[in-house]
Each structure stands twice: as structure tokens, then as C-alpha cells.
Amino acid sequence: MPNRGCARSACRGISAFCRRRGFDAHAPHGSDHLARGLDPLPASPWSPASAGRRCVRRSSVVVTGMRISVALATYNGARYLEPQLESLAGQTHLPAELVVGDDGSSDATIEILERFARVAPFPVRISQNPTNRGHGQNFLETASRCRGDWIAFCDQDDIWSTEKLKRFQHASIRRPQLDWMVCRNRYVDDRLRTMRRATLALSERGNWMPLTSPVRIHDGHRMIFRRWFVDLPWQRRPVSTDGRLITHDRWLSVIGYLFGHRHFLRDRLTLYRQHQGSVTMQAKAAERSVAVGHRLDARRDFFAERDRFWSAMEHWCLSLPMDSCAKDEASAATAARQCRQIAQFYRDRARVCDRTLDRQRRVSAYGVLVQRSGTYAAVFGQPPLIRDLFALMGTP
């Protein structure tokens, strides 16, 4: 049963926040200037006296054409949800909409969301999944229901800087050719205290990824991307050997690498909360223990899995319909060729770590890697070659 006390406490907090911002917490969304989706001025976000000036500000946003939808995936997130919703309502560039996908919460999450939807300065649409989809599938399904030109993923337990969407908007104006952008974040604990790097399970920059992939996998909450990313057939994305689909942030990072023009913002625009219940951190820590482990068989299996994934991605690229948005036959063929080269790299690395092969064949596989070291070093860096050399020398 939902925790009624938690819901009432959260609702009182949202009401107090609304009163501080100068609008009626009990008025239904759609009244007065909020119904017209006008962007607030930072000095007085929702003051009725500023309605005329906001009309001028709104016209400039329409010219840029950047309508941002926020895709929020929730699951039993009542404990941390309210501060995140407040940070969305406090954006200096308001989103065009908030689209929520709830994955079967049994706490007060839905009550908090419904309460917020009645007072939010932008439309809020809430969908409840009939069955638990898992966080990656839930995010992608929620993003596919968005109507904006750009989509930003939103975790239920983080807190956004009030300038986050505005910074993305300014970057898109300066570089209109961009397809996706990534900002930095700040790691905090469950009480929002900044965490030192030594205490983190993973580096914020993703330093472990160059050891295993040319694609730097970025957390979903750091991304903003064009709508066509989810118009591509993500439902047919490759699965791992255990039958699980790859997560939303890994998938979008791969699509951005293969097809998109990307840009990285130096600003830290998200407080990334780390706690025991964080699904994404648990999954990444488990993957990292295999990816950078010293067990040779685990490394061989890991590289073989990556070989299968990128080979499947090659076929996925070649099977894209020619009418798929923003992609043509030439770009799909180029992406397929990149996937084929990456798959071959993992195939050679798996041979180096395969103890069922004799030493001569493993040395030969390492020689191929060395011959291609110029290409691979530019993409992967030198650490993979060095680690594979130690793996080759340390086994019979």
C-alpha cells in the first residue's frame, strides 16, 4: 500500500514550493499564462506582473525551435522524487512537457506525480506500465511518447541545475548541426554531500571505457538528443548472451557515436545522487568488475560478447529503412563499416585471451593487433594493447 504519510509530506512540500514561486498550488494546470507555456524570466519566475515580458521571451524561443521534452522514468522513488520535480519546475528555460513512465511503483510515487502535475508550469503526462519493464526499456518507451524536438532523460533521484536546459539551448543555437549533447555532473551521496573521487565506484569521466570500447558510454541523465534517435528501431536493438537488451544510455551513446554530431559541455549541471538503491550504479559496477578484471577467461568471454554485439549492430545498420529520419544509405553503410571494424578488434582480443588456443595462434592474433595499433590507438588508446600483452605473457 502507498505510504500516505510520505505522500502528504511531499504534497505539502510541493505546495510550499509553489507558494514561494508565486502561483496557486491548487489551481489546475492550464489557467492564466502558464497554459500558454511561456518561459519565465529568472528574476521572477512566475509572477503575474511579468506576463507581458514573458511573451517577448517566448518569441525568441520559438525562433530557435528547441522544444525540449523531459522523459522521467520512476519506480518506487517517493523518497527522492520531490526535489527533482522542484528542480524541473525551477528551470530558467522550461521544458515543453514532462513525460513520466512509472514501472509499477508501490509507494507514494504516483500520488506525488499527480499532485505535481496539477501545479506544474508545463504539461505533465503520466503513464503506468502494466508490468515491470526494467529501467532501460522504461526510459526508451517513455522517450518514444515525447513530442518535443529534443528529449532529455531524467532520473528520479537526481537534482538538476536551474540553468541546465538553458545551457543546452544556448549550445544548440551556437551549433545548429548538433544531434546530441552531454553535460558533466557532480556526484553526491543520499544527503547531497559532494563525494570525493576516491569514494566513487566509477570515475565520472568513464575512464574504464577506453579499455573496452571506442564508445564512451554516458549516463542518460547527462544527455539531450534529437527526437529522431528514438524514431530509429530501438525495439530491434541487439541483446546480450543472457537475453537482456542493452540499457537506454548505452544504446543512445552507440547511436550518437555512429550517426550523430555530438558536443560536450564542461558545465556540471546535475547532482548525481549515489545510494544503495541506485539501479544504474549497481549495473555499471557489476559490468566493470568483468570488463577490467584480471581473470583471462572472463576477459575472453567479455570480448567475445562485444564481438557479437558489434556484429549484430552491423546488421542492424544495414537493415535500416531508407526512409528512417535523418539517415540515408551512405551514412548507414558507413556506420555498418565502423561496426565491422570494432567487431574484428574484439575478435582479435578474444583470441589473445583464449587459453584453448596454442601460444603460436595467440601470438599471431596479438601481432594483428600490433599491426593495426595506429588505428586502434587513435580510437581505443594504448592501454588495450599493453593489457593484452600482459595477458599473453602471463599464461602458458
Note whether 252 and 180 are within 8 A (CB): yes
Q: Grid coordinates in use for 186?
A: 557532480
Rounded to whole angstroms, the Cα distance separating 379 from 149 reads 31
DSSP calls for 131-199? S---HHHHHHHHHHT--SSEEEEEETT-EE-TTHHHHHHHHHHH-TT-SEEEEEEEEE-TT-PBPPGGG
Across-strand partners of 150? Answer: 68, 226
Q: Chain centroid to CA 15: how far?
A: 30
Strands laid side by side in the 124-128 sheet = 124-128, 97-102, 68-74, 150-155, 223-226, 180-188, 262-273, 159-160
Note whether 344 and 380 are within 8 A (CB): no
| pLDDT score at 277 | 58
Note whether 107 and 6 are within 8 A (CB): yes
Rounded to whole angstroms, the Cα distance separating 64 from 79 reads 37
How far separated are the first and last CA of the chain, in Å rounded? 59
Rounded to whole angstroms, the Cα distance separating 129 from 42 reads 36
Name the 3-class secondary structure at 224. strand
Name the 3-class secondary structure at 349. helix
Element (H, E) at 258: helix 248-259
| pLDDT score at 47 | 25
DSSP calls for 50-106? GHHHHHHHHHHHHHHT--EEEEEEESS-HHHHHHHHHHHHT-SS--SEEEEEE----
Any idea of the CA torsion for 186, 191, 194, 195, to the nearest 10 degrees? -100
Amino acid present at 344 = Q
Note whether 230 and 144 are within 8 A (CB): yes
pLDDT in tens, 35-84: 333 333 233 222 222 222 332 233 333 334 589 999 999 999 999 999 99
The sign of the torsion formed by the CA atoms of 291, 294, 299, 301 equals negative
pLDDT in tens, 368-378: 877 776 555 55
Note whether 112 and 78 are within 8 A (CB): yes
Element (H, E) at 262: strand 262-273
Note whether 219 and 303 are within 8 A (CB): no
Give the residue from 336, 323, 342 showing the smallest Cα distance to 259: 336
| pLDDT score at 292 | 43
* Long-range contact pairs involving 294-301 (C-beta distance under 8 Å, separation at least 24): 296/353, 296/355, 296/391, 296/394, 296/395, 297/353, 297/355, 299/349, 299/353, 299/391, 300/350, 300/353, 300/354, 300/355
Across-strand partners of 154? Answer: 72
What mean pLDDT value characterizes the chain? Answer: 75
| pLDDT score at 380 | 57
Residue numbers of the chain with a pLDDT score lower than 70: 1-65, 196-214, 241-243, 275-294, 322-329, 373-385, 394-396
Note whether 217 and 253 are within 8 A (CB): yes
Q: Beta 262-273 vs 159-160: how paired, if at all?
A: antiparallel
Q: What is the DSSP-derived secondary structure letter of residue 260?
A: -
Residue environment code for 182-208, b if the CB has 16+ CB neighbours within 10 A, otherwise e: bbbbebbeeeeeeeeeeeeebebebeb
Q: What string of H, E and C letters represents the secondary structure of 267-326?
A: EEEEEEECCCCCHHHHHHHHHHHHHCCCCHHHHHHHHHHHHHHHHHHHHHHHCCCCCCCC
Q: Grid coordinates in use for 86?
A: 522542484
Rounded to whole angstroms, the Cα distance separating 153 from 71 reads 5
